[in-house]
Amino acid sequence: MSAQQTPGAGALAGLTLIELEGIGPAPMAAMLLADMGATVLRIQRRDPVAQGIQREPRFNLLLRNRTSIELDLKRPESAALVLDLVENADALIEGFRPGVMERLGLGPDACLARNPRLVYGRVTGWGQTGPLALSAGHDINYLAITGALEAIGRQGQPPTPPLALLGDFAGGGLYLALGILAALIERARSGLGQVVDAAMVDGVASLSTAFHGLAAAGVWRAERGTNLIDSGAPFYDVYACRDGRYVSVGPLEAKFFKTLLTLLELPAELAAWQSDRARWPALREQLAHAFAGRSREEWTARLEGTDACFAPVLSFDEAPNHPHLRARGTFAEVDGIAQPAPAPRLSRSTAPPITPVAAPLRGTTALAALGRWLPPDALERARAQGLFE
């Protein structure tokens, strides 16, 4: 990594990373690092395999901010080229099942032999070891065995899958990025790279640490939808408005709950019901009836910005236009697509501008892009072998 920083280049300017094509957590981690200024080269399959949710490539926003090339990794010459690239990389990201990279000749042993300073990032659902390591699975399965899925949902209803936010992107992608950065910091002391084994089951379990503590203390009920912050409490929930849209409220503290009651024009004596579980069903009816009397926008005008702990429930389409998010620049429009801006924000090392998802480079264009990664003889060898034709 370079010690020099160019204004607007990002905190990770100078960091170079190879990303092997994958879905979910692997491209998420690569995007997070690229958003902070890392130079990422994504290697895609020559013959695409249908994975994940299919859409036009420009809408696969996790692939922004990097250059892509296509290789047939089953060709020994292509694998040899990847090893050439690894020599000059700080880190590598891959999300295949355990053993796939080894069979391609690109496992940790081969890569670290070429570059002992390499941080080799691996992300899977079950992890590199354990009896389920070689089994197929998806986000919902990884949540299921950690206890997290069982806890999410309403009382008397089945568990509710929380999109892929918790397993793929938080437990997988975020933890992979964290592990890579931790290994890079350690490398500054030891001079050596290492392997990062980011398993979604481990990440989700880690994210659940506080809840395991609450359960052990006997203050978290095993029955979902009966606790303070899982829709069990009527003052921490969503409510339907007159127009069929929803609002969220979460005044856990007594003083904030009193503020909500005042703004809803409900009797002040209801404040005592907050600490009386026996009265929660009746309190929920009172709140539901009140919110049903006005539209979401009317409640937003009345409650937003107060200490009632209120926010309207917005759709993905609506969120970029919320005044607070507009003021902060939480979303950006790139290539005509509204998308989240890089996060978190650093006071000095501002993130570089977002570059839109681009098609993989081919032919001489691909070779030219690899000029910053490879010496001339390796480029000439790749050209003579027709790896990008």
Q: How distant, in Å, are the alpha carbons of 11, 260, 313, 314, 320 from that of 317?
A: 30, 28, 12, 8, 7
Instruction: Tell me the pLDDT band of 121, cut-offs 50, 70 and 90.
Output: very high
How much is the pLDDT for 118?
A: 98
* Rounded-to-integer distance, Cα 116 and Cα 90, Å: 10
* Rounded-to-integer distance, Cα 91 and Cα 204, Å: 24
Is the distance from CB of 205 to CB of 146 less than 8 angstroms?
A: yes
What does the pLDDT average to over 337-349? 95
How much is the pLDDT for 20?
A: 97
How much is the pLDDT for 388?
A: 87
* Rounded-to-integer distance, Cα 253 and Cα 276, Å: 14
200: tokens are 């979604």
User: For all residues of the chain together, what is the average pLDDT?
Assistant: 94
* Rounded-to-integer distance, Cα 150 and Cα 161, Å: 9
Tens digit of each residue's pLDDT (9 = 90 or more) over 256-283: 999 999 999 999 999 999 999 999 999 9
Instruction: Tell me the pLDDT band of 1, cut-offs 50, 70 and 90.
Output: very low
pTM of the entire structure? 0.94
Is the distance from CB of 320 to CB of 329 less than 8 angstroms?
A: no
Go through 90-103 and write b for each residue having 16 or more CB atoms within 10 A of its CB, e for each that does not.
bbbbbbbebeebee
The residues that are catalytic are: 138, 168
How much is the pLDDT for 49?
A: 66
End-to-end CA distance of the chain: 32
How much is the pLDDT for 274?
A: 98
Q: What contacts 30, CB < 8 A, 6 or more positions away?
A: 17, 19, 40, 42, 62, 66, 93
* Rounded-to-integer distance, Cα 345 and Cα 92, Å: 24
What does the pLDDT average to over 192-208? 98
Bridge partners (DSSP) of residue 384 are none
